[in-house]
Amino acid sequence: MYNEGHRLLDELEKACLLEACGFGSSKAVRMHDVIRDMALHIMNANSAPWMVKGLGLEDVLDDSEWLPNLQKVSLMTNDIEAIPPSISPNCPQLATLLLSDCRRLHEISEQFFQRMQGLKVIALSKTSITKVPKSVGTLEKLNALILNGCSQLSCISFLAKLTSLRKLDLRGCTNINEVPDGLGMLVNLTYLRLSGTGIKRIPDGVVCKLKKLQHLEADYIAARAEEVVKLRKLEVLRCRFENVNELNEYTLHATTLESYILLIGDRTNDSALYDFWHGLFPSDSGLSNCGKVIFMNVVSDIRETCLLPRDVEALGIRECGRMWNISRFMGLEEVGGSGGQPEEPEGQLEERTSPPPPGDHFPSLKELEILYCPNLKRLLVPRHSCSSYLTQLEMLKIRGCHELESMTVKEESLTSSTSPLPPDAFSQLQSITISSCAKMKRVLTLELFMLLPNLQTIIVDYCEEMKEVIGGQELDHGATSSSFLSPMPAASPGDQLSTRKLTLVLDYLEELESICRWTGLRDLIHEIVLSEDVDRGKRWWESLEWVHPEAKTALEPYVFVDTLDRGRIPLRECPSEVDSSEVDSSEVDSPEVDSSEGEQ
C-alpha cells in the first residue's frame, strides 16, 4: 500500500504533472495551477462535477451552490470560521469533502452532514474544531476520517457506528488523551495513526480486534506485543513496547513487515526521541533513513535473553539501566546503565548464554548508535562461537559512554598472530563517531583499522584523554602488516591502501598527541577537519609543537575547517595566522606532533 502510493507519485512527477518541493523528511509534491485547472476541467467534463473553492473564502457556500450531483468538494486552505446550522447541503452523491487547512474553522453544525449520506472521505485536518459533529456517526459508507493536526479536538464519541471505516488519522490531536470509544469495533480498519496525541497506551483487547490493519502508527504509545503479532496483514508498525519481554514476544511471533520503528522502554518526549520519531536526525545519523529501526530507551530489565529481529537495519541503545549482555547476538559486551553494579566475569556469561544462531548476527544491521551507557568498557568482544559480526554495519556512533576504554579486548591480550576480529566482521563499516567518551585513549588499534577496508570517516570530539586516533605498533616491520591485511578483499596490500580515502574530524581533544604513528597512513588521509570555530581551530593548529618543522607544511594541504557560512574551507584560506604568543594556554594544549603525521 505504502510503496504503491509512492510509485504513483513518482510516475506523476516524472511526467511533470507534479512538482517536487521541500527537502529531507519534509519532501513533498505540489501541482502547478495550470495542471490543476486542466485536471478539474477534464474531471468535470467526463464525470459528475467537482467543486473547488479557494483561496481566501470566509463563508461556506450557500445551499444553492451545492449541486445535488456533486461527487467531490474541496474547500481547503480557506478562512472559513464556522459552518452554521442554516447550511445543510442536499448532496446525496457527494463522496469526498475536503476542509483541510481551514485553520480558523472551529465549529461545524450537526445539520451540515445530515444530507450527505454517500460520503466516503472527510478531511478536517489542521482545523480548530473542538468536536466532530455526531451526525458524522450516521455516515454508514464513510471510509476515511482524516483529523490530523486538529490540536483543539478532545474526543470522538461515535466511532463504533462507522463499521465501514478503513482509515482513521488522529496524528497531532494533542488534546485526545484516551483511545476513542469504539475503536475496537472498526473491524475494516486498515490504517490507524495515533501519533502525537496525549494517549499513553492502547487498552488491552483493542488492537487484536483490528484484523485487517495494515498500517499502525502510534510512536510513543504503548501497545501489547501479543496483540500486535496477531495482525497478520500488518505492513507498517510504529509503536512502543514497555519492556524487553514485550520485544521478545514480538520478535518470536511477528510476521515480516515492510517497515517498523519500535521504541522499547520508557515513554519520553525529550528532544532526542522527538527527532527520532519525526525523522529530524542530522544528516550524519542513519536511523531515520532505515526502514526497520529499534530504539531501546532507558530500559532497566535487559538481560542476555533480549531478542531482536534479524532484519533490523538500525539499532539505538540509550541510557539502558543495569548490566546486560547481547554478545549472543552481535558480539557486544556489557552495555549498561547505572553504575555501582560489578561486571560479571566473561566466563560466567559464556556459560549462562546459549549459543548464537548459525550465520551472521543481524545480517541487515547498517546503523548502530549507543548513547549514554556509562558501564560500557569494551565494545567488541570476539568469541570463538561467533562466525561473523555485523558484516553489513556501515555506521557506528558512540556518545557519552564515560567508561569506554577501547573498541576491542585489551590490546595486550592479542598476539602477532591473533586477529582482533573474525573474517569479514565489520567489513562494510564506513563511519565511526566517538563523542564524550572521557576514558578512551584511542579510537582504533592499527591492527583493527587494517581490518576495516571500507572505513572512510572517523569523527572524534570531547574525549578528554584521547591520545591517538589510530594507535598501536608500526606495520612497517616484520610480518605484522601482511597478517592483518590478509582479511581484506582480494588485491595486493598496496592496491587496497591506495583506494582508501580517510576523513578525520577532530574537535576538543585536549590530550591528543598523534593521529597515527604508522607512516603508511600518509597515503590514506583525504581530509583532516578541525572545529567549526575557525579561530579556535586555527589557534590549536598554530599551537602544535612539531618534531620536524617541515612536517607542518607537508600536512597543511589536507587540513580543513568547517564553517557555518562558507562550509568546509582549507585551513590556509582562513583568516591570517594567530600569533602563537597570543594563544591562551588554558584553552589550547600544545601536543608534540609525531613526525609521521607530518609526512602525510
| CATH number of the domain where residue 193 is located | 3.80.10.10
Number of independent structural domains in the chain: 1
Does 3 fall in a domain? no
Distance of CA 14 to the CA centre of its chain: 28
DSSP-based three-state secondary structure for 514: strand
Three cell numbers at 285? 545519523
Stretch (H or E) spanning 371:
strand 367-371
Burial of 404 (0-12, 13-18, 19+ CB in 10 A): buried
Contact 130, 136 (CB under 8 A): no
Three cell numbers at 241? 513496547
What are 460's strand-pairing partners?
Answer: 434, 506
Three cell numbers at 271? 528532544
Does 492 fall in a domain? no
Distance spanning both ends of the chain, measured CA to CA: 53
Q: Which domain holds residue 159?
A: 27-199
Tally of residues, the chain? 600
The C-alpha angle 158, 161, 163, rounded to 5 degrees, equals 130
Contact 451, 498 (CB under 8 A): no
Which of 546, 489, 554 minimizes the C-alpha distance to 523? 554
Does 163 fall in a domain? yes
Which of 35, 44, 43, 91 minimizes the C-alpha distance to 67? 91
Does 558 fall in a domain? no
* Separation between Cα atoms, residue 34 and residue 39, nearest integer Å: 9
Residue 272: its pLDDT value, please?
57
The whole-model pTM stands at 0.80
Each residue's pLDDT, cut to its tens digit, for the chain (600 residues) gives 557 788 888 898 899 888 888 765 567 888 887 887 787 777 667 666 888 887 789 999 999 999 999 999 999 999 999 999 999 999 999 999 999 999 999 999 999 999 999 999 999 999 999 999 999 999 999 999 999 999 999 989 889 999 999 999 999 999 999 999 999 999 999 999 999 999 999 999 999 999 999 999 999 999 999 999 999 999 999 999 998 889 989 998 988 999 999 999 887 655 555 555 555 444 444 455 678 999 988 776 555 567 888 899 999 888 875 554 445 444 333 344 443 333 433 333 233 233 444 445 678 899 999 888 877 777 765 554 444 567 889 999 999 988 888 876 555 444 445 566 667 778 899 999 999 999 999 999 888 888 889 999 999 999 999 998 998 655 444 433 333 333 344 344 445 555 678 999 999 888 888 888 777 777 788 888 987 677 877 887 777 777 667 777 878 888 998 877 778 888 888 765 444 444 444 344 444 445 444 333
* Separation between Cα atoms, residue 15 and residue 386, nearest integer Å: 51
Does 586 fall in a domain? no
Does 165 fall in a domain? yes
Three cell numbers at 23? 527537502
Whole-Å CA distances, 335 to 143, 374, 404: 47, 8, 10
Three cell numbers at 226? 501479543
DSSP-based three-state secondary structure for 368: strand
Which of 58, 133, 38, 132 minimizes the C-alpha distance to 102? 58
Three cell numbers at 300? 532497566
466 backbone dihedrals φ, ψ, rounded to 5°:
-65, 120
Does 145 fall in a domain? yes
Type of residue numbered 331: G
Does 591 fall in a domain? no
